[in-house]
Chains A and B, each alone.
Chain A
């Protein structure tokens, strides 16, 4: 694994994504989701909303890093809010 040049933050990041996917799988098995329409312009399943939430979070981070001088933690905090909003009301 040395060649992959792991660091603690990236390991935690991928661990988090992995746990999220496992959690979503378990959730789906326990209670299969039904597509619904929220504030997003298309009908989405739970997985769709997670994808939209994560992609939006990535762009949010890029915007904060590229345009502002804010700490990256602000982007992360905003991303968590965005993810919760999309998952709940998207």
Chain B
């Protein structure tokens, strides 16, 4: 039998300590908070699973969870095909390839709150180029008062910010396909659709899984951009999970329910990430 040298595990110790300090200990604290009614550090009462019961039956949270899934679904449905399409049309070599890569990378370098501010001003009807132009064309547009406009703006903003990531990942995936596949396709007189369907798409599978996972997790945790752009409004139309959670924890200082809610949130992210991770590792094994 192969003997493993387990001494290498000592090298993992620094990372383990770092993760314990930054994630495990705070996580344990959140679990402790979730079963107590906390007024201040000296007066706290054990309430069992009452906060979980309250949170799991709160219609406000159901609504924002539904909004969150719709939002993440829309983000994936738009950004993944668009990213693939952009990657397919990008030049493969020469000066233009470099120029395209730089242009594509620019939105990724802009911080979240700056993106929110850019789009907040861009969409305004009085001084923003987008808002003013749309209204001048006779299209009524106001993201601050119209739910559809707010949703479209938040989605377009995310597409503008993050499609580049998908495109760049797919671009690198496409460049990694050996030329012999294309030569074989030319010999078989395969159509460009057949080349995409039977060569490019299967070869992009693992890259796409990473792209889908990254975009799902990021969009599922989104906070800053919609907060700066719409503040969650109009009404609660663009209030997503993280914003509801922040309101509960920081705004109302309901630490117990907020802790219970963040654990539910964590479990959703954990399940989805695990599913993607398993799909990814098993597709690697199969290929």
- Show the binding face of A for B, using Cβ within 8 Å: 2-7, 9-10, 13-14, 29, 32, 42, 51, 55, 58-59, 61-62, 65-66, 72
Segment with Cβ contacts to A, from B52-60, B139-147, B175-183, B197-205: B52-60
B272 to chain A, nearest CB (A): 11
Instruction: Establish whether residues B35 and A66, one from each chain, have CB atoms under 8 Å apart when the complex forms.
Output: no
Per the bound structure, the CA–CA distance linking A65 and B61 in Å amounts to 15
B9 to chain A, nearest CB (A): 10
Residues in chain A near residue B267, CB distance under 8 A:
55, 58-59, 62
Residues in chain A near residue B264, CB distance under 8 A:
62
Contacts A7-B46, A9-B46: A62 and B29 contacting too (C-beta < 8 A)? no
Cross-chain contact of A7 among B1, B4, B35 (Cβ < 8 A): B35
- Show the binding face of B for A, using Cβ within 8 Å: 1, 4, 6, 25, 28-29, 31-33, 35-36, 38, 41, 44, 46, 48-49, 52-53, 56-57, 264, 267, 270-271, 274, 278, 282
Per the bound structure, the CA–CA distance linking A58 and B31 in Å amounts to 13
Instruction: Establish whether residues A65 and B56, one from each chain, have CB atoms under 8 Å apart when the complex forms.
Output: yes
Look across to chain A and name the residue whose beta carbon is closest to the beta carbon of B270. Answer: A55
Instruction: Establish whether residues A29 and B6, one from each chain, have CB atoms under 8 Å apart when the complex forms.
Output: yes
Cross-chain contact of B56 among A9, A42, A66 (Cβ < 8 A): A66
Contacts A55-B271, A58-B267: A4 and B32 contacting too (C-beta < 8 A)? yes
Per the bound structure, the CA–CA distance linking A62 and B28 in Å amounts to 18
Per the bound structure, the CA–CA distance linking A14 and B28 in Å amounts to 8
A4 to chain B, nearest CB (A): 5
New A-B contacts (16) at CB < 8 Å, excluding given A5-B38, A66-B53: A4-B25, A4-B29, A6-B32, A7-B35, A9-B35, A9-B46, A14-B28, A32-B1, A32-B4, A42-B278, A55-B271, A58-B267, A62-B56, A65-B49, A66-B52, A66-B57
Instruction: Establish whether residues A13 and B270, one from each chain, have CB atoms under 8 Å apart when the complex forms.
Output: no
Per the bound structure, the CA–CA distance linking A32 and B31 in Å amounts to 32
Instruction: Establish whether residues A62 and B52, one from each chain, have CB atoms under 8 Å apart when the complex forms.
Output: yes
Residues in chain B near residue A14, CB distance under 8 A:
28, 31
A39 to chain B, nearest CB (A): 16
Contacts A32-B4, A62-B52, A62-B264: A7 and B36 contacting too (C-beta < 8 A)? yes
Cross-chain contact of B274 among A4, A29, A55 (Cβ < 8 A): A55
Could you show 22 A-B contacts with beta carbons less than 8 Å apart? A2-B41, A3-B29, A4-B25, A4-B32, A5-B29, A5-B33, A6-B32, A7-B32, A7-B35, A7-B46, A9-B46, A10-B35, A14-B31, A29-B6, A55-B267, A59-B271, A61-B49, A62-B264, A62-B267, A65-B49, A66-B52, A66-B56
Residues in chain B near residue A9, CB distance under 8 A:
35, 46
Residues in chain A near residue B25, CB distance under 8 A:
4
Per the bound structure, the CA–CA distance linking A10 and B44 in Å amounts to 14
Per the bound structure, the CA–CA distance linking A4 and B31 in Å amounts to 9
Per the bound structure, the CA–CA distance linking A17 and B46 in Å amounts to 21
Look across to chain B and name the residue whose beta carbon is closest to the beta carbon of A8. Answer: B46
Per the bound structure, the CA–CA distance linking A58 and B52 in Å amounts to 12
